[in-house]
Homo-oligomer: A and B are copies of this chain.
């Protein structure tokens, strides 16, 4: 188990911060089953459009989500790469 570099720590903090909010966790939970457009999420999460957009951006900026425009709709999905990254981060936090 190697020591974490400063950049790793900053990155881990960024990831954790993005997940440190109940609304964002609900978004992630909903996306486990696959891509959804913002309109679906708005209905499912019962939240204002602006608020939802803010949290989606927070997750996207952290690399947790990716988005894809299709016609009038934008679809969000979990980024598989970051899931692996999370697992690594968790491993490095876990005690020996």
Contact = CB atoms under 8 A, between A and B. Distances in A.
A39 interface: no
Interface in A1-56: 1, 3-4, 9-10, 12-13, 16-17, 19-22, 25-26, 28-29, 31-33
Interface residues of A, number: 31
A26 B9 CA distance: 7
Copies of this chain held together in the complex: 2
A65 to B, nearest CB: 11
Given A87-B90, A90-B86, A90-B87, A4 B20 contact: no
A14 to B, nearest CB: 8
B33 A12 contact: no
